[in-house]
Each structure stands twice: as C-alpha cells, then as structure tokens.
C-alpha cells in the first residue's frame, strides 16, 4: 500500500467511527449499475472485515438501501446507499448529502468545476477505479445477429435503421435504453452516439433499472438494448467492433484489459478536502484482494492481475505472434492521462498490482516484456517512437521498484482496439501491455 494511502487510513482510525443514534456513518449516492448490488456487497464485506456482526440490509425506497451492523460495544452502525444514477452522486457531494459518489463513468468537466471547492476530484486521492465493466449490447436470444460495429449501433439507436431487415433480420427494431441519470447511458452516448453526431431516438423506451431493461429485452424478439455486463442474464450479448478493430464479445479477459470497445471503469469519488474515515475504509477494502473478490462475485471484472494465454493468430504482426507463442499476457493495460505521457490514476494503482504479482511469482529479473502501442500517425515511424516512449515510461516506474525487464517492443499503430477517428478511441489505442515468461 502506498505511504500516502497508509497515512490516510491511519489518520482515519483516529477519527470517530460510530455516529450517534441512527445517523449513518457513511452516505453513498450515485450509479444504479453499481448501487443495485456491487456497492451493497462491498459495504457488507467491509463490515465483516471490521469485525462487526448482525449485518442486515433493508430497502428504504426504490433504489435506496440501508446496511447496518453491531460493533463490539453493541452499537448499531448504519450505511446508506442510494442508486439513482451517476450524476446524482456528484450532485449529492456538492450539497453535502453524500460522503462518497459511485459512478459508472468519469467525472465530467462541468461536475469537476462545480466541486472544485472540495479539491481536485480527478487527483489520485479523489478518483478510484474499483472495477471494470463492459457495456453489453443485448438482443433477444432468437435474434440471428451476432455482431455490430459502433457505427451500426449509432444508426440503430438514432432511429436511422428502424427495421431489422437492414441487418439481416425481420420486423421493426424496438429500442431499450437506460435513463438520463445513468452512467451506463452516458458511457453509451459518449462512445457510440456522440462521435457520430447522433442522438437517441425518441422511440426508445427508457429504464432506471438495469434488471428491468434486461428482462424486457429477453422477452421481446425485436428488442435491442445496452446494459452493464452483470445484467445480460437471459438476453444475448453481441460482439462489437470499433473502427479497424476486430469484433469483440464482452468477455472478462477483453474487459479487464479494456480492449473491448465498450469497456468502462467503475469509480468511487471522495472529496479530497473532507474524506470521511468510513468512505476511505470502503475505498481501501474495495481495492484489496478480498474486495476485488467481491467485485468478481457480483459479476463485474476484478482488477486482480492474472496471466492469460493469447491464441496465435495469423493476422498478428510476426513479432507479436512470436511473443504470444512464448509468453502469457497479464490482464492489465497501462494507459495514460489524456494529453499526457503520465500514467493515469488506474495505471498508478495497477503498477502496485503488477509489482505484487512480480514479487509473488518471482518475475522480477528479465521475465517481463512491455509492448507499447499508439494511435495512427501520418508518419508510421513517429507512431513507433511514441509507443516505445510509453513503454519506457512504464519501465522507468518498474525499474524504481527493482524490476529488470527482458525487453521492450514498440508496435506503433498496429492492432488497434478502437477507432482512431475520435479522441476516446485514440486514447484507448495508446497503451502498454505486459507479457510474462
């Protein structure tokens, strides 16, 4: 655990952990995707880790819960969870009605500015990735369609394609979408609609509940919708392609590396100037191995580092084929802050996870290869140079911890995972993979 985080936890332990009467010690507001099951499960895990007993959860209102437990003195501790959409979490932080915001998409510039009195909400102390999710595009199991491009998705959800016959099916297309408060909706809008100047068709039915949307799609043969990965259930997910990338299903491996085009990060946000001790404790538990086990149990993708075998494909560059035949890829990609050569907040946390993996399996001396990638440039040599510089930035951080690499490879703009025509796609293509021998 980094020294700053250890200090924060120790300082938190010096503060009162139990409130009087039935006042909650922690108030969480935000994402419905997270708040319906993941956040309550993490809260219960934290209460168990702290040694509390008689843990209970009760519904207070639609999409609102209260978790409670008894401490060693027999006093009941309360934690309130409200899940009405990611944007409501940031609003609640601003009005001091929440101690922690859960969000299924990054804080946007307007929200960041409105909360600047609470500190920089994008700094490493404020922004914490606790899980990875994929926005799955789902259809009825009887639908013959197996894959779509993000461009086709935009045409469908904008209403430009209104009959399945255009794509090889039959009957009118029925659209199902999350509501305007939802981070799932905002992620879909940013990744699919906005880059193509498209808007959601007014014919789309909107849902606050992830479960309700998934159930409706599974009962309607002409339906298409989008949902968080754990809520696919009886519906069927489609493979999605973006730009020149290959169609990808939202598998755990492709979501973990964020290669799946509609992968997204799930966040906890803490106001850095007023971090409540229980809020910090929940973040720390969520990032721990037991917390990440809870993430996986709830159907999301944990950030635990694992080695994965990558099948050799003739379409891969020869050097990459050789690498895939000799080594395994770790389930983490290092990515960078927008417009910067600095590792982003998730990458900084992933660095500690990779170091823990290296130590556990004795891979610290010439057992790792870093592979850098970038977005397309007019000059291919410049793309290769930049991809090498990104890999070198990761090597520098690993070297500081005593890790000696086997080598570095620079792939330039090869093997894109997203479209290079939009900022978000170029940012996803700027990545560093870790391979282990």
Q: Provide φ and ψ at 339, rounded to 5°.
A: 70, 25
Separation CA 237–CA 25 (nearest Å): 39
Separation CA 32–CA 82 (nearest Å): 8
305-436 fold = 60s Ribosomal Protein L30; Chain: A; (3.30.1330)
Output the CA angle 102-103-107, nearest 5 degrees. Answer: 120
3-state secondary structure of 373: strand
Separation CA 167–CA 383 (nearest Å): 36
Separation CA 432–CA 429 (nearest Å): 9
State the pLDDT at residue 15. 40
Q: Does domain 3-129+266-297 have CATH number 3.40.50.10420?
A: no
Quick one: angle between helices 38-49 and 277-287, nearest 10? 100
pLDDT along the chain (437 residues), means of 10: 43 43 91 93 98 95 96 95 96 98 96 97 97 95 96 98 94 96 90 94 95 97 95 96 92 93 96 95 97 95 96 94 97 88 92 96 97 88 93 96 97 91 86 97
Six-digit token string for 58: 């009760």
State the pLDDT at residue 16. 44
State the pLDDT at residue 202. 97
Residues 68, 55 contacting (CB under 8 angstroms): yes
Q: Would you list the domain boundaries of the chain?
A: 3-129+266-297, 134-254, 305-436
Q: Does domain 134-254 have CATH number 3.40.50.2300?
A: no
Six-digit token string for 171: 């009957």
Fold: same for 134-254 and 305-436: no
């Amino acid at each position: 655990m980094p020294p700053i985080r250890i200090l924060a936890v120790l300082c938190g332990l010096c503060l009162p952990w139990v409130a009087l009467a039935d006042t909650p010690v922690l108030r969480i507001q935000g994402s419905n995707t997270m708040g319906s099951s993941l956040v309550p499960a993490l809260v219960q895990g934290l209460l168990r880790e702290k040694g509390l007993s008689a843990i209970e959860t009760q519904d207070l209102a639609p999409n609102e819960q209260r978790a409670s437990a008894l401490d060693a003195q027999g006093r009941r501790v309360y934690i309130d969870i409200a899940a009405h959409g990611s944007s409501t979490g940031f609003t609640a932080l601003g009005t001091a009605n929440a101690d922690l915001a859960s969000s299924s998409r990054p804080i946007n510039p307007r929200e960041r500015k409105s909360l600047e009195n609470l500190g920089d909400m994008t700094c490493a102390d404020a922004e914490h990735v606790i899980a990875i999710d994929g926005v799955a595009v789902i259809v009825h199991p009887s639908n013959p369609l197996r894959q779509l491009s993000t461009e086709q998705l935009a045409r469908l959800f904008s209403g430009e394609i209104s009959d399945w016959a255009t794509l090889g099916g039959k009957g009118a297309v029925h659209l199902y979408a999350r509501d305007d408060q939802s981070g799932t909706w905002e992620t879909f809008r940013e990744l699919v609609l906005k880059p193509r100047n498209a808007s959601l068709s007014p014919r789309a039915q909107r849902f606050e509940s992830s479960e309700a949307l998934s159930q409706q799609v599974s009962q309607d043969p002409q339906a298409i919708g989008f949902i968080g990965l754990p809520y696919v259930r009886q519906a069927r997910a489609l493979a999605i392609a973006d730009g020149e990338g290959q169609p990808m299903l939202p598998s755990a491996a492709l979501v973990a590396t964020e290669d799946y085009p509609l992968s997204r990060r799930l966040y906890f946000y803490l106001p850095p100037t007023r971090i409540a001790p229980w809020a910090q404790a929940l973040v720390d538990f969520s990032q721990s191995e037991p917390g990440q086990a809870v993430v996986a149990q709830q159907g999301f993708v944990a950030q635990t580092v694992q080695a994965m075998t990558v099948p050799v494909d003739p379409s891969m560059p020869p050097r990459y084929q050789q690498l895939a035949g000799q080594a395994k890829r770790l389930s983490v990609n290092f990515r960078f802050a927008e417009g910067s050569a600095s590792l982003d907040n998730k990458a900084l946390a992933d660095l500690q996870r990779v170091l823990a993996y290296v130590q556990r399996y004795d891979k610290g001396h010439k057992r790792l290869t870093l592979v850098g990638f970038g977005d397309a440039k007019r000059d291919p040599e410049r793309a290769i140079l930049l991809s090498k510089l990104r890999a070198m930035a990761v090597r520098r951080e690993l070297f500081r911890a005593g890790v000696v690499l086997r080598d570095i490879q620079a792939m330039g703009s090869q093997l894109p995972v997203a479209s290079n025509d939009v900022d978000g796609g170029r940012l996803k293509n700027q990545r560093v993979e870790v391979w282990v021998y």
